[in-house]
Amino acid sequence: MLWQAMSETPDKSPMARRFRSFLPVVVDVETGGFDARHDALLEIAAVLLHMDAHGRLCRAETHACHVAPFPGAHMDPASLAVNGIDPHHPFRGAVDEHEAMQRIFRPVRQAVRDQGCSRAILVGHNASFDLGFLNAAVARCGIKRNPFHPFSSLDTVSLGGLAYGQTVLARAVQAAGLGWDPDQAHSAIYDAEKTADLFCTVVNRWEELQESAGAPSLLPQGEGAP
Give the active site residues: 186
Of the chain, the end-to-end C-alpha distance in Å amounts to 24
37 to 32, 33, 91, 130: CA distances (angstroms): 11, 10, 26, 12
Q: 136-169: b or e for each residue (b if 16 or more CB lie within 10 Å)?
A: bbbebbeeeebbbeeeebbbbbebbeebbebbeb
Number of residues that this document lists for the chain: 226
User: Helix, strand, or coil here: 85?
Assistant: coil
Q: Which helix (H) or strand (E) holds 191?
A: helix 188-212
Give me the phi and psi of 65, to 5 degrees please.
Answer: -145, 145
Look at the alpha carbons of 42, 74, 138, 123 in this order and tell me if their dihedral is positive or negative.
positive
CB 130 within 8 A of CB 168: no
Q: Which residues contact 12 (CB under 8 A, 6 or more apart)?
A: 6, 21, 116
